[in-house]
């Protein structure tokens, strides 16, 4: 894309894009006890795609969280923002964002390997 085309894509438009495999532009976490799920593999042993965490503290560039399921349960971790790039548009689209999403509900693919006390299925 050349420099003259930049004006065709205002910031508001770019922020409104909801692309598959990319978290939303704005991560809205209402409380510091919210449950989130990792969307990327950051650390092969602890922070991998599908890991569920409870947010303890949220800062501008780091989320402090506790792992709530799996081998590393109750371990505290720091999650920094990472660059994510989408090439599905007429231009390369890059965001610097946290690789997490709220986990009030999850797809059947993300729930594989999870042990749940209560489960509701909406077909």
Spell out the domain ranges in the chain: 3-110
Checking if the pLDDT of 2 tops 60, the result is: no
Q: Rounded distance, CA 112 to CA 24, Å?
A: 23
Q: What is the pTM of this model?
A: 0.69
- pLDDT of the residue at 21: 67
- pLDDT of the residue at 115: 66
Angle at Cα 118 formed by Cα 46 and Cα 98, nearest 5°? 35
């Amino acid at each position: 894309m050349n420099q003259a085309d930049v004006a065709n894509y205002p910031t508001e438009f770019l922020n409104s894009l909801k692309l598959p495999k990319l978290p939303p532009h704005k991560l809205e976490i209402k409380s510091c006890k919210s449950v989130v799920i990792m969307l990327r593999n950051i650390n092969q042993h602890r922070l991998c795609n599908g890991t569920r965490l409870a947010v303890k503290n949220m800062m501008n560039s780091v989320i402090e969280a506790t792992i709530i399921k799996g081998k590393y349960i109750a371990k505290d971790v720091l999650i920094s923002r990472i660059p994510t790039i989408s090439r599905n548009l007429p231009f390369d689209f890059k965001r610097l964002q946290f690789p997490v999403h709220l986990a009030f509900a999850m797809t059947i693919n993300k729930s594989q390997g999870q042990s749940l006390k209560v489960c509701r299925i909406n077909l």
